[in-house]
Amino acid sequence: MRLAEDSTPLISIILAAQRDYRSLNALRPLWRHLTGAVPQVILFTPPSRLTDLASLADLRVRLLRRTIEIHDARLALRGYVTDEDYQWIQDTLTGRGLAGEQLDAAVEAVWLTAAVTAKHRGTAFTPPSARPAHGGGDLPSEVRWLRLIEHARRSRAAATVLHELDQRMAKRRR
């Protein structure tokens, strides 16, 4: 009986570490995508893929750092997609049947990917107007939101709308 009572905190710690480990690795593709465009948001030497997979040290700190760097990259990229294109993304995805959280995550995924592409192409930065702030009020809800974005980034709907947006932006560049 005494052993079961003493093991409860340990089990909680193990489960929390397991969640942090999964989240840290699930966010790596989004983090790499965004920080590849704005590496100045990376606080310290970025961890290698091997470190993310093999190291269990400081999981919570590394996860917090990753979410902060993603957030900072999102802020730095806002001016690479116009408000008009942002609205077009939202309207187009709404017209394709997305709603609620799935819509919000898909809009975020598309504009972020478009912004990364625009930055790599050397598109001029324009000051963005206020865009809706999405995310969580604490680390678990922020991680959940970012994982939704990463999932949406890989969706067929996002890929299709991103392709259409790229064509739309290319017409303006001519």
Q: What amino acid is encoded at 86 in this protein?
A: Y
pLDDT-based confidence at 130, cuts 50/70/90? low
For residues 75 and 71, give the distance between their C-alpha atoms in angstroms, rounded to a whole number.
6
In the predicted structure, residue 141 carries a pLDDT above the cut 90: yes
Q: What amino acid is encoded at 42 in this protein?
A: I
pLDDT score recorded for residue 1? 45
Nearest to 77 by CA among 88, 89, 69, 66: 69
User: Which tokens sit at 46?
Assistant: 């970025």
Full-model pTM:
0.86
**pLDDT single digits (tens) 90-122:** 999 999 999 999 999 999 999 999 999 999 998
Nearest to 82 by CA among 111, 46, 116, 56: 111
In the predicted structure, residue 52 carries a pLDDT above the cut 70: no
Percent of the chain with pLDDT over 70: 89
